[in-house]
Structure 1
Amino acid sequence: MSTVNTPPLEFNGERFTPECQREIWYEHWHRYAFARELVQGKRVLDAACGEGYGSAMLAGVAQAVLGVDISDSAVEHARARYGAQTNLRFAQGDATALDLPAASFDVVTSFETLEHVHAHDELVAGFARVLSDDGVLLISSPDKLTYSDISGFRNEFHVRELYRDELLVLLRRYFPAVRLYGQKLLFQSVLWALDEGDAKASGHIAATAAQDGLDISESLDYAPLYFIAVCSKRELPLSLPGLALFGDREESVYAHYNHEVRKNMAAGGRIAELEAELDTLRNETAKLPAARAVTAEPHVASSIKEPRPWWRGWR
């Protein structure tokens, strides 16, 4: 993925930008890293592409990528930042009313779009129309049960969220074959085979990206903290996994992490309040000497005698 030195698109909470950090960074980059495995040599439509980072990532392996977004400013930014890639272009357009030829794409990606529009059927039907007969749609959507109902959180930019069964009914109306994945940021203990030549050959897909998203390794590219070895005098068992995960259902580490984040955010807010109060006191204190000088001026003036002229010294 190549970029030019373009100022970041301002983050207003409606669309992700690569400069975002923590959970949202993992969630958004992971979707495109997953899609990257399925678009190699394909004609790709990235519908509601936003800032353009995902379209640019896919263009690194795809035959051609078209990023479409309803925002003129987002499209203009994407062209300026990623337009140097010859197999990538951006266009302004409404994902619910695509003005594109039928069967003109092999893959359509549309991440975090569905919940931002009311016209769900128009959106998905349009994707089915522009896809070839053996084409693939990759689409994401928050689960209303966990994202909103259980958490009590309301995203002001979401206009129509779906429950799992509602999402499946919608998708199967236009795509008879659907395989549903869950996505969630988890705290896990991870074991991965260090001598595994090809992660996909062992039945899993892994990707590790640099913070800027430019350097992507198709493996768990981390320095291990511990080594665990499986040894035998004969051949090792063929059923050894390439990847093993372990965690607790209560996600205790994540709960502690969230507690600390909330505590730090509250402390940061209080510090900002105290700093504002301190600035006010400093400003008021700075005015005190001037006020005292003005008050004391008449008295000071009356107590100071004019110097005698030089000729008065003769008397």
Structure 2
Amino acid sequence: MGDLFRREAAATPAPFTGERLTGAIGGQVEIEHYHRYLFARHFCADRDVLDVASGEGYGSAQLAQVAKSVVGVEYDSGTAAAAQAQFRRDNLRYVQGDARALPLPDACVDVVVSFETIEHFDRQAAFVAEIRRVLRPGGLVVISTPDRDVYSGPNSPPNGFHVRELTGEEFRALLADAFPHLAMLRQRPLIGSALLADAGSDAPPVVFDRRGATHFEACQGLPRAPYLVAVGSDAPLPPLPPSLFIERSNLDDDGGKSAELLRQVRLRDTVVEETRAALADTQAALAATQAREADARAALDEAHAALRAQAAAIEAMERARTEADARCRTSVEARAMAEAHVASALRELDQVRGSARTFLRGYLPRLKRHLLG
């Protein structure tokens, strides 16, 4: 009977976003992550430990079961705060920080673990230098990353969360400058069978990989492993034991569970497609409404333009009428003045006529008598 210990998990899991493991997801992704932490736990007894990119916090809590102290550093402050609330231990705390500028003093921890972290950002050498800075002499780093040659091989969709993935050679070269003692392990989740000797063996493992329905491949070592796990130090490494994570005890039951999960996935896909279709219909209706609104707005603009033109015409007519009234008033005044001049002239003419008659009646007879004797 082995050592039985608790599986740490958040009581209130955060939603799964597609990359960071949370308690909301199980299966292969869960197995991969727990196996790395359980392997690292082997090196953490009575040690001060740093977990970089601690996420939901379950892994740091798993290490804290045996460690002297554990600090989980997480880039997202809300995630760090949630982990602190979920996992309350006297020897465990979570803080916000950048992996390339760790919020810890020099030479303060014995072990640094960081799983599936380095591929998420640039300036990767700065991260490695920070790990070396916070480790005490003789300290140990356990770090993992996807192997680009396998994880992102031909016909594999790119992982949009990854900034720069590394090949096995690149990963080794990046770590070797800081950690002269370095060992590389490969990780591949699988369903299979294990044969382990009761006593230790120096012989490499013999692996049989089923290749389709008709063939097996006999390999030494683990073929097509998508993940690399490195263990490094400035001092000689402790023995690195082989490690198995046993998840399934009854494949038939698991097949039933898988079928149910597949049914749920297909049902979800149906709901998603129906939702997409409804969304497309809604968008089409919205586009038609927007088109009608645009037509109505154009008609309203034309009506406003016609009203403005009509108002301008009325204004022009009012100006013409005002000008005509002014000309009419001027004509009337001119006529009155002309009539006054005519009346004055007639009066003067009457005066002349009167003078002429007086002259003719009074002086003309006298003139005749004077001239004619």
Q: Could you say which TM-score interval applies, normalised by the shorter chain?
A: 0.5 to 0.7
The 3 A distance-change label for structure 1 pair 87 and 162 is same
Instruction: State the shift of 1:266 in Å.
Output: 7.5
State the distance in 1 between where 2:172 and 2:30 align.
26
State the distance in 1 between where 2:202 and 2:174 align.
39
Q: Which deviations, in whole Å up to 9, do the C-alpha atoms of 1:49-79 show, x marking residues without a partner? A: 1110000000000000000111011111101
Are the aligned partners of 1:188 and 1:246 in contact in 2 as well (CA < 8 Å)?
no
Unaligned 5+ residue runs, structure 1? 197-201, 204-238, 280-315
State the distance in 2 between where 1:266 and 1:59 align.
36
1:250 maps to which residue? Answer: 211
Q: What is the one-letter code of the residue matched to 2:93?
A: R
1:295 maps to which residue? Answer: none
> Of 179, 189, 198, which residue of structure 2 is paired with 1:185?
189
The 3 A distance-change label for structure 1 pair 59 and 151 is farther
State the distance in 2 between where 1:74 and 1:31 align.
21
Are the aligned partners of 1:29 and 1:54 in contact in 2 as well (CA < 8 Å)?
yes
Instruction: State the shift of 1:173 in Å.
Output: 1.4
2:144 corresponds to 1:140: yes
- Match of 1:180, SS state, is strand
2:111 corresponds to 1:107: yes
The 3 A distance-change label for structure 1 pair 171 and 269 is same
2:23 maps to which residue? Answer: 18
Are the aligned partners of 1:124 and 1:171 in contact in 2 as well (CA < 8 Å)?
yes
Q: Which deviations, in whole Å up to 9, do the C-alpha atoms of 1:206-256 show, x marking residues without a partner? A: xxxxxxxxxxxxxxxxxxxxxxxxxxxxxxxxx799xx8753242669xxx
State the distance in 2 between where 1:240 and 1:105 align.
32
TM-score with structure 1 setting the length: 0.65
Are the aligned partners of 2:10 and 2:58 in contact in 1 as well (CA < 8 Å)?
no
> Of 55, 66, 69, which residue of structure 1 is paired with 2:71?
66
Higher helix share: 2
Q: What is the one-letter code of the residue matched to 1:58?
A: L
The 3 A distance-change label for structure 1 pair 116 and 168 is same
The 3 A distance-change label for structure 1 pair 272 and 48 is same
State the distance in 2 between where 1:160 and 1:266 align.
31
2:261 corresponds to 1:268: no
The 3 A distance-change label for structure 1 pair 89 and 146 is same
State the distance in 1 between where 2:157 and 2:127 align.
25
2:171 corresponds to 1:172: no
Cα RMSD, aligned residues only? 3.5
Are the aligned partners of 1:75 and 1:91 in contact in 2 as well (CA < 8 Å)?
yes
Q: Which deviations, in whole Å up to 9, do the C-alpha atoms of 1:251-294 show, x marking residues without a partner? A: 669xxx9x9899868843564368779x9xxxxxxxxxxxxxxx
State the distance in 2 between where 1:160 and 1:50 align.
20
Between 1:14-23 and 1:128-137, the stretch displaced more is 14-23
Instruction: State the shift of 1:99 in Å.
Output: 2.6
2:129 corresponds to 1:122: no
The 3 A distance-change label for structure 1 pair 155 and 262 is farther
> Of 77, 82, 86, which residue of structure 1 is paired with 2:87?
82
- Match of 2:184, SS state, is coil
| Aligned length in residues | 231
State the distance in 2 between where 1:134 and 1:276 align.
57
State the distance in 2 between where 1:263 and 1:45 align.
38
Instruction: State the shift of 1:148 in Å.
Output: 0.9
Are the aligned partners of 1:75 and 1:90 in contact in 2 as well (CA < 8 Å)?
yes
Identity of aligned residues (%): 39
State the distance in 1 between where 2:272 and 2:23 align.
30
Are the aligned partners of 2:15 and 2:24 in contact in 1 as well (CA < 8 Å)?
no
Instruction: State the shift of 1:21 in Å.
Output: 1.0
Q: What is the one-letter code of the residue matched to 2:35?
A: H
The 3 A distance-change label for structure 1 pair 72 and 270 is closer
Are the aligned partners of 1:104 and 1:130 in contact in 2 as well (CA < 8 Å)?
yes
Higher RCO (CA-CA < 8 Å; seq separation 6+): 1
Are the aligned partners of 1:43 and 1:64 in contact in 2 as well (CA < 8 Å)?
yes
Equivalent residues in 2 for 1:200-279, closer than 5 Å? 202-203=199-200, 247-250=208-211, 267-268=266-267, 271-272=270-271
Task: Answer with 1 or 2: which has the greater Rg.
Answer: 2
2:36 maps to which residue? Answer: 31
Q: What is the one-letter code of the residue matched to 1:76?
A: A
State the distance in 2 between where 1:144 and 1:137 align.
21
TM-score with structure 2 setting the length: 0.55
- Match of 2:195, SS state, is strand
